[in-house]
Amino acid sequence: MEKINVTELTSHLITKKRDDLSVRQLAVLMACKLAKQTVRGLAERFNLHKPAITRAADKLEELGFIVRAKDPRDGRSVLLSITADGRKFTQSFI
């Protein structure tokens, strides 16, 4: 899986004056840009507890950057997907 550069994310947040997003939230958003993600998968990838990812996802969903949907392969799991607004926001990262 593609690496996410935390230093670049932090720099972008400062440059864009986005004090409503944390680096963790932005990392989750960027991972969702690459592909649909599960909370469990992101927790493992970022070496965090699932509640930390859930809180980040809550904020991103509130901003309209991601949506949640049941994972058709595992009914206990939720998939996080980027929205058009989330994709538009991340375009400046490339």
What are the pLDDT digits (tens) for 24-69? Answer: 998 999 999 999 999 999 999 999 999 999 999 999 999 999 999 9
pLDDT, the chain, mean: 86
Kindly list the domain boundaries of the chain, sorted by start residue: 19-93
Give the pLDDT of residue 91: 85
Region of residue 74 (left: phi > 0; alpha: psi -120 to 50; beta: else) = beta
Domain 19-93 listed as CATH 1.10.10.10: yes
Q: Span 65-85, mean pLDDT?
A: 93
Q: Span 14-31, mean pLDDT?
A: 80
How far is 34 from 17, CA to CA, in rounded Å?
24
- Contact 46/36 with Cβ under 8 angstroms? no
